[in-house]
Amino acid sequence: MARKSGSLDLRLTLGDLVSSGSRALTRYTGTLLTVFVVQSLVAIATMLACAVVLATVFSHLPMWDEAVDGDLVSLVTCLRFAKLNLVACAGIGFGALLLWQLASWFLVGGVYGVLAQRPEGRAETARTFGASGTATYLAYARLALCSIPGYLVVLFVFATCTNAVAGRIEHALTVGDLVVPALVMIVPAAILIHLLWTVSDYARVELTLRHDSHDPSSVMTYLRACGFVLRRPLALIHASLGWLAFAAITIGYVYLAAGHPMYGAEGAVTLFVIRSGVSLARMALRFAVLAGQVDLGGTRPPPPRRVEIKADAKPQ
Amino acid sequence: MHRLLPLVLALAACGHDHGPPHVRKMDRPDGSPALRGGGTARSPRIANYKIDVRLDAVRHQLAATETLTWTNTGASAVDKLPFHLYLNAFKNESSLFMRSSRGEMRGAKASDSAWGWITVDSLQIAGVELASKLKLVAPPDETVAELPLATPIAPGQTVDINFKFSAQLPEVFARTGYKGEFNMVGQWFPKIGVRTGPPGLEQWQCAALSANTEFFADFGVYDVKITVPSTYTVAATGVLTQASESPGGTRTFDYHAEDVHDFAWAADPFFNTRSQDVTVDGGPPVHVKVYFRNEQLDFALRHLQAGVGAIEKFSADFVPYPWSQMTIIDPPIDAAAGAGGMEYPTLVTTEGDSVFIRPGMKFPEYVTVHEVGHNWFQGILASNEPEEAWMDEGINEWADAHVMTDLYGARTSGIDQYGFQADIVALRNTIVDDPSSLPQPIATAAYAFLDTTAYAETTYDYTMRAMLTLEHEVGSAKFMAAMKAYAKAFAFKHPTGADLFATLSHELGDDFSWFFGPAFQQVGGAKYKIHSTACRQAHDIRGVVADGTGKKTRTETEAPDTGTWVCEVVVENTGPVHVPVDVELRFADDSTQRMHWDDKGNGTFERFTVEHSTKLAAVRIDPDNLEMIDSPLHHAYRVDGEGAASLRAGARIASWAQTLMQLVGP
| Residue of chain A whose Cα is closest to the Cα of B293 | A173
Q: What is the pLDDT of residues B303-320, one digit of tens each?
A: 999 999 999 999 999 999
Say what percent of chain A tops pLDDT 70: 91
Do B647 and A78 make contact, defined as CB atoms within 8 angstroms?
A: no
Do B420 and A72 make contact, defined as CB atoms within 8 angstroms?
A: yes
Q: How many CB pairs under 8 A join A and B?
A: 202
Contacts of A55 in chain B (CB under 8 A): 641, 643, 646-647
Q: 10 Å Cβ neighbour count for B106?
A: 15
Helix (H) or strand (E) holding A165: helix A122-170
Strands (E), B294-350: 325-329, 342-344, 347-349
- CA–CA gap between residue A191 and residue A160 (Å, rounded): 15
In the three-class reduction of DSSP (H, G, I as helix; E, B as strand; rest coil), residue A295 is classed as: helix
Partner residue opposite A93 with nearest CB, options B15, B642, B653: B653
CB A73 within 8 A of CB B426: yes
> pLDDT band for position B4 (50/70/90)?
low
Do B662 and A272 make contact, defined as CB atoms within 8 angstroms?
A: no
Residue A9 has pLDDT above 60, yes or no: no
CB B605 within 8 A of CB B646: no
DSSP string, A11-71: ---HHHHHHHHHHHHHHSHHHHHHHHHHHHHHHHHHHHHHHHHHHHHHTT-THHHHHHTT-
Across the range B387-395, mean pLDDT stands at 97
Task: Look over chain B and give the mean of its residue pLDDT values, rounded to a whole number.
Answer: 94
Backbone angles phi, psi at B592, to 5 degrees: -130, 160
> pLDDT band for position A261 (50/70/90)?
low
Of A43-52, A133-142, B3-12, B416-425, minimum mean pLDDT range = B3-12
Do B662 and A246 make contact, defined as CB atoms within 8 angstroms?
A: yes
Residue A6 has pLDDT above 50, yes or no: no
Q: What is the pLDDT of residues B431-488, one digit of tens each?
A: 888 888 899 999 999 999 999 999 999 999 999 999 999 999 999 999 999 999 999 9
Per-residue pLDDT, A309? 52
Per-residue pLDDT, B249? 93
In the three-class reduction of DSSP (H, G, I as helix; E, B as strand; rest coil), residue A167 is classed as: helix
Residue A10 has pLDDT above 90, yes or no: no
Residue A220 has pLDDT above 50, yes or no: yes
Per-residue pLDDT, A7? 46
Residue B628 backbone class (left: φ over 0; alpha: ψ -120 to 50; beta: rest): alpha
Partner residue opposite A181 with nearest CB, options B12, B419, B639: B12
Per-residue pLDDT, A12? 87
Q: Give the distance from residue B486's alpha carbon to the nearest chain A alpha carbon, in angstroms.
A: 33
Contacts of B422 in chain A (CB under 8 A): 72-73
Q: Give the distance from residue A238's alpha carbon to the nearest chain B alpha carbon, in angstroms.
A: 16
User: How many Cα atoms occupy the beta-carbon half-sphere of B506 within 13 Å?
Assistant: 11
Do A168 and B637 make contact, defined as CB atoms within 8 angstroms?
A: no
Q: Which residues 394-423 on chain B approach chain A with CB closer than 8 angstroms?
A: 415, 418-422
Q: What is the ipTM of this complex?
A: 0.89
Q: What is the pLDDT of residues B599-625, one digit of tens each?
A: 988 889 999 999 999 999 999 999 999
Contacts of B300 in chain A (CB under 8 A): none
Q: Give the distance from residue A37's alpha carbon to the nearest chain B alpha carbon, in angstroms.
A: 12
Across the range A266-294, mean pLDDT stands at 88
Could you name the CATH architecture of B528-538+564-664? Sandwich (2.60)
Q: What is the pLDDT of residues B485-519, one digit of tens each?
A: 999 999 999 999 999 999 999 999 998 999 999 99
Q: Which residues 342-381 on chain B approach chain A with CB closer than 8 angstroms?
A: 353-356
Say what percent of chain B tops pLDDT 70: 98
- Residue B194's DSSP bridge partners are B205
Q: What is the pLDDT of residues A299-309, one digit of tens each?
A: 888 887 765 65
Do A49 and B650 make contact, defined as CB atoms within 8 angstroms?
A: yes
Per-residue pLDDT, B127? 95
Same fold? B23-308, B528-538+564-664 = yes
- CA–CA gap between residue B563 and residue B351 (Å, rounded): 64
Do A61 and B632 make contact, defined as CB atoms within 8 angstroms?
A: no
Q: Which residues 300-339 on chain B approach chain A with CB closer than 8 angstroms?
A: 333-334
Do B426 and A63 make contact, defined as CB atoms within 8 angstroms?
A: no
Helix (H) or strand (E) holding B583: strand B581-587
> pLDDT band for position A264 (50/70/90)?
low
Per-residue buried b or exposed e for A48-67, using 16+ beta carbons within 10 Å of the residue's own CB: ebbbbbbbebbbbbbbbbbb
Per-residue pLDDT, B15? 62
Per-residue pLDDT, B500? 97
- CA–CA gap between residue B494 and residue B133 (Å, rounded): 31
Do A50 and B649 make contact, defined as CB atoms within 8 angstroms?
A: yes
Q: Which residues 15-54 on chain B approach chain A with CB closer than 8 angstroms?
A: 15
- Best residue of A33, A38, A47 to probe chain B, by most B CBs closer than 10 Å: A47
Residue A289 has pLDDT above 50, yes or no: yes
Partner residue opposite A73 with nearest CB, options B418, B427, B662: B427
Q: Which residues 606-635 on chain B approach chain A with CB closer than 8 angstroms?
A: 618, 620, 631-634
| Residue of chain A whose Cα is closest to the Cα of B433 | A80
Per-residue pLDDT, A306? 66
Residue B341 has pLDDT above 80, yes or no: yes
> pLDDT band for position B420 (50/70/90)?
confident
Query: Whole-model pTM?
Result: 0.90
In the three-class reduction of DSSP (H, G, I as helix; E, B as strand; rest coil), residue B189 is classed as: coil
Residue B397 has pLDDT above 70, yes or no: yes
Backbone angles phi, psi at B220, to 5 degrees: -175, -165
Rg of the Cα atoms in chain A: 24
B648 has a chain A CB within 8 A of its CB: yes
- Best residue of B457, B661, B663 to probe chain A, by most A CBs closer than 10 Å: B661
Contacts of A49 in chain B (CB under 8 A): 650
Residue B567 has pLDDT above 70, yes or no: yes
Q: 10 Å Cβ neighbour count for B81?
A: 24
Per-residue pLDDT, B566? 95
Q: Give the distance from residue B570's alpha carbon to the nearest chain A alpha carbon, in angstroms.
A: 16
Q: Which amino acid, B578? A: H
Across the range B371-399, mean pLDDT stands at 97
Per-residue pLDDT, B8? 52
Q: Which amino acid, B242? A: Q
Q: What is the pLDDT of residues A160-218, one digit of tens each?
A: 999 999 999 999 999 999 999 999 999 999 999 999 999 999 999 999 998 888 778 88
Do B649 and A283 make contact, defined as CB atoms within 8 angstroms?
A: no
Across the range B169-180, mean pLDDT stands at 96
- CA–CA gap between residue A26 and residue A115 (Å, rounded): 12
Going from the C-alpha of A241 to that of each of A12, A17, B396, B484, the distances in angstroms are 16, 11, 56, 66
Do B650 and A48 make contact, defined as CB atoms within 8 angstroms?
A: yes
Q: Where are the domains of chain B?
A: 23-308, 528-538+564-664
DSSP B389: G
Do A268 and B353 make contact, defined as CB atoms within 8 angstroms?
A: no
Q: Which fold has domain B23-308?
A: Immunoglobulin-like (2.60.40)
- CA–CA gap between residue A115 and residue A296 (Å, rounded): 12
Per-residue pLDDT, A3? 39
- CA–CA gap between residue B388 and residue B152 (Å, rounded): 30
CB B119 within 8 A of CB B167: yes
Per-residue pLDDT, A2? 38
Q: What is the pLDDT of residues B266-278, one digit of tens each?
A: 999 999 999 999 9
Residue A227 has pLDDT above 70, yes or no: yes
Burial classification of residue B389, based on how many CB atoms lie within 10 Å of its CB (0-12 exposed, 13-18 middle, 19 or more buried): buried
Per-residue pLDDT, A215? 79
- Residue B79's DSSP bridge partners are none
B637 has a chain A CB within 8 A of its CB: yes
Degrees, nearest 5: CA angle B629-B635-B639: 170
Per-residue pLDDT, A1? 36
> pLDDT band for position B7 (50/70/90)?
low
Residue B85 has pLDDT above 90, yes or no: yes
Residue A144 has pLDDT above 80, yes or no: yes
- Residue B415's DSSP bridge partners are B361, B422
Backbone angles phi, psi at B604, to 5 degrees: -100, -5
Say what percent of chain B tops pLDDT 90: 85
Q: What is the pLDDT of residues A53-91, one digit of tens each?
A: 999 999 999 999 999 988 889 999 999 999 999 999 999
Greatest mean pLDDT among A259-263, A312-316, B212-216 lies in B212-216
DSSP string, B1-28: -TTHHHHHHHHHH------S--PPPPPP
> pLDDT band for position B9 (50/70/90)?
low
Per-residue pLDDT, A18? 93
Contacts of A64 in chain B (CB under 8 A): 645-646
Tallying the residues shown for chain A, one arrives at 316
Per-residue pLDDT, B112? 87
Residues with Cβ within 8 Å of residue B440, at least 6 apart in sequence: B448, B449, B450, B454, B458, B523
| Residue of chain B whose Cα is closest to the Cα of A181 | B12
| Farthest-apart Cα atoms in chain A, separation | 85
Per-residue pLDDT, B24? 85
CB B292 within 8 A of CB B299: yes
Per-residue pLDDT, A315? 52
Per-residue pLDDT, B665? 80
Q: 10 Å Cβ neighbour count for B167?
A: 25
Q: Which amino acid, B383? A: S
Per-residue pLDDT, A11? 83
Query: B255 vs B631, which has greater pLDDT?
Result: B255
- Best residue of B655, B656, B660, B663 to probe chain A, by most A CBs closer than 10 Å: B655
Do B665 and A107 make contact, defined as CB atoms within 8 angstroms?
A: yes
Contacts of A259 in chain B (CB under 8 A): 419
Partner residue opposite A43 with nearest CB, options B429, B647, B654: B654
Among the listed residues B67, B70, B209, the one whose alpha carbon sits nearest the alpha carbon of residue B124? B67
Backbone angles phi, psi at A96, to 5 degrees: -65, -40
